[in-house]
Structure 1
Amino acid sequence: MNLPDPQPAVVLVPRAAQRRVRWKNDLGWTTELAVGPDGASEFDWRVSIAEVDADCAFSHFPGIDRSILVLAGAGFDLHVEGEPPAQLRLGGPAHAFSGDRTTSCTLIGGPTRDFNVMTRRGPVRHSLFTAQAPTTLERTPGLGWVVYVERGAVTLASVRAEAGDCIVLEPVPEDMPSIALTGEATLVLVRLQADSRHSAE
């Protein structure tokens, strides 16, 4: 993750600009919300919403750490090689797993939409969780955010986002005051932390 100038960029990705693409294994569809770095042949991080319409295998992503959170539908049981099944349900927490491992899912009650985060192991670490606006986002060296508005609307540094929109808050190279997300909304937040050990190599 490249570090920008001290004043971070706040980028709005409106719903209309998001790309709907096939899964890597061609078994489903995903809507790509944001990816970084821009223009690179391989992503360091990627945030998307997948449509799961049937029991299926997940795509194989060697070297990638993944997290999934159910957005709509009853959810599914996630089967990751070498791990007990994980129950992903609407309103439940995100589940983290390795893209290196063979993974599949079993739906429990029809089609499901899920929020996906992928980060390349080494350059970036991530966490995925839900929140309610108003809230604040911490600003520490190498820390960036992706904000997805599930319901409602928010404003971040004069950028307004409504339901289905996404905001990317670029990382900063030094400590800065927390930044406010104003409005009333249900949010999905992705915390993207550049790995300083990797950057120093």
Structure 2
Amino acid sequence: MKVSPAVRHLRAQDAQRVRWRNGLGWTREIYAEHAVGDDNWSWRLSIADIEQPAAFSRFEGVERELMLLSGDGLVLRFEDGQHADLQPPHARLRFDGGRAVSGEPAGPGVSALNLMWRAPQIVAETWHRPLVGTMVVFVDPGDCWVVHVLGGHARLIGDSVPAHAEQGDTLLLYAHQARTRYVLDGGGALVLARFSPRQDRAPAGDLPGGI
């Protein structure tokens, strides 16, 4: 749902459930960003539901980051012998989407937040942050900031367009014609991601009172 031309509120219940590209599992697609006139997405955000050991789809030229959302843990086994154990509550791993890898859930199944972006086009930075009170986010033209609510709630306040996001919801924040300041308020935990066109730029880093 568009709150304004620069803000989108994606509700958890509106995510579309689709098959993995290799047909071995299911994912809930939250959003895929497409450039004008391009049928291929430049970055994508989804939640994978992994109920049994399965090979992941391979995406050449794509970087991806996987974060455990729920369940007792997920072991990622790569074809070259590397393995990673994602433990609760929210362990994560960034890796080349073209690598052959399978996932083995602990217990009856897990869900994992899956961020993917085309590395030749996009630079991605991610943070896992508590939200206690207010947080300020500055969005530059051409960038998109993703605010995914892991737990609790978050709302845009002050000079921002009002929007209230509950657990599982996602906010997409874009700039107006110039750098745009957004103020988040609430309580809980967030995943924040910044997707930027690839160019020489300094990382956002950790700034007092904001990101």
Whether 1:168 and 2:179 are equivalent positions in the alignment is: no
Structure 1 equivalent of residue 31 of structure 2: 34
Structure 2 CA distance for partners of 1:83 and 1:97, relative to 1, 3 Å: farther
- Give the TM-score normalised by structure 2: 0.81
Cα distance, 1:176–1:167 mapped onto 2, change above 3 Å: closer
Residue matched to 2:204: none
Alignment of 1:102-141 (within 5 A): 102-133=100-131, 134-141=134-141
Unaligned stretches of 5+ in structure 1?
A: 1-6
Task: Give the letter aligned to residue 15 of structure 1.
Answer: A
Amino acid of the structure 1 residue aligned with 2:144 = G
Shifted more, 45-54 versus 91-100: the winner is 91-100
Matched ranges for 1:1-201 at <5 A: 9-37=6-34, 40-82=38-80, 84-133=82-131, 134-156=134-156, 157=160, 158-171=162-175, 174-177=178-181, 179-196=182-199
Deviates more, 1:27-36 or 1:85-94: 85-94
Aligned CA-pair RMSD: 2.2
Q: Which amino acid counterpart does residue 22 of structure 2 have in structure 1?
A: N
Q: What SS does the aligned partner of 1:36 have?
A: strand
The letter of the residue matching 1:115 is L
Q: Aligned letter for 1:180?
A: V
Segment of structure 1 superposing worse, 103-112 or 75-84:
75-84
- Are the counterparts in 1 of residues 33 and 44 from structure 2 also a CA contact under 8 Å? yes
Distance 1:69 1:154 in 2: 20
- Residue identity in the other structure for 1:46: R
Under a length normalisation based on structure 1, what TM-score does the superposition of the two structures give? 0.85
Instruction: Tell me the secondary structure at the aligned position of residue 41 of structure 2.
Output: coil
Distance, in Å, in 2 between the alignment partners of 1:173 and 1:67 is: 30
What is the identity, as a one-letter code, of the residue corresponding to 2:116? M
1:86–1:171 Cα change, 3 Å? farther
Structure 1 window deviating more from structure 2 (162-171 vs 19-28): it is 162-171
Percent identity, aligned pairs only, is 31
Instruction: Quote how far apart the aligned CAs of 1:96 are.
Output: 0.4
Paired residue for 1:4?
A: none
* Residues 35 and 42 in structure 2, CA contact (< 8 A), matched pair in contact too: no
Whose RCO is larger (CA < 8 A, sep 6+)?
1
Cα distance between partner residues in 2 of 1:100 and 1:114: 19
Structure 2: stretches of 5+ with no match in the other structure = 201-211
Task: Tell me, yes or no, if the aligned pair for 2:139 and 2:174 is still in contact at 8 Å.
Answer: no
Aligned residues: 190
